[in-house]
Amino acid sequence: MSHKKNSSDYWLAKRKTIRKLWMVLVIVLILSVTSDLLFDSHGKFIVNDTFGFSAWFGLGCCAAMIFVSKGLGFFLKRKENFYFDDGEKSNSSKNSGGE
């Protein structure tokens, strides 16, 4: 393994590229919502047949899951060596299976 100093040499790491990717994402997001005008979404229930349902539903559900997991983490997160104080050891030094 070698270490390169200048990590921004790579095209994907350049600010310009990242800005362009965000613009592409926004355009694709808008196009995906407008596709509801072109195709019948075949929603069989009341809510999922509304315009842009999958967009707000996807965004809302993901935001909810992130916040719920954060809340769970508040109660359930422990230090990495929580179970290792009785003789078990961390696997941080694990290598390939081929050794």
Partner 1 sequence: MLFPPGLILLIAGVLILIIPNKNSQRLIALAAPVFTLAIIWTIPENTLLSLSWISNDLIILKHDSLGRLFATIFAIMSLIGTIYAIGARMRRKELSSTFFYGGSAVSACLVGDLITLFIFWEIMALASCYIILKGNTQAATAAGKRYIIIHLFGGALFLTGIAGHWIDNESITFQAMALNTPGHWLILAAFLINAGAPPFSSWLPDAYPESSPAGMVFLSAFTTKTAVYAILRGFAGEEVLIYFGLFMVFYGILWALLENDMRRILAYSIVNQVGFMITGAGIGSALAINGATAHAFTHIIYKALLLMSAGAVLQMTGKSKCIELGGLYRTMPLTTMCCIIGALSISAFPLTSGFISKSMITEAASIGHLSIVWYLLAAASAGVFLHAGIKFPWFVFFQKDSGLRPKEPALLMQIAMIIAAILCIIIGIFPSILYKILPGNIDYIPYSGGHVGTQFQLLLFSGLAFFLFLPLMKRTNTITLDLDYIYRRLVPYIANNILYINIKLRPRIKNTWEILISWSLTRLNINNRQTLKTISSVTAGLSAFWVVIILCICLLVYYS
- Contacts with partner 1, residue ranges (CB under 8 A): 1-4, 7, 10, 12-13, 25, 28-29, 32-33, 35-36, 38-42, 44-45, 47-48, 52-59, 61-63, 65-70, 72-73, 76-80, 82-84, 86-99
Q: Whose CA is closest to 32, among 7, 65, 55?
A: 55
Round to whole Å and give the CA distance between 37 and 43.
14
Helical (H) or strand (E) element with 21: helix 15-38
Cβ neighbors of 17 (< 8 A, separation 6 or more) are: 11
Nearest to partner 1 of 15, 39 (CB atom)? 39
Least distance in Å: CB of 20 to partner 1?
A: 15
16 or 79: CB nearest partner 1 = 79
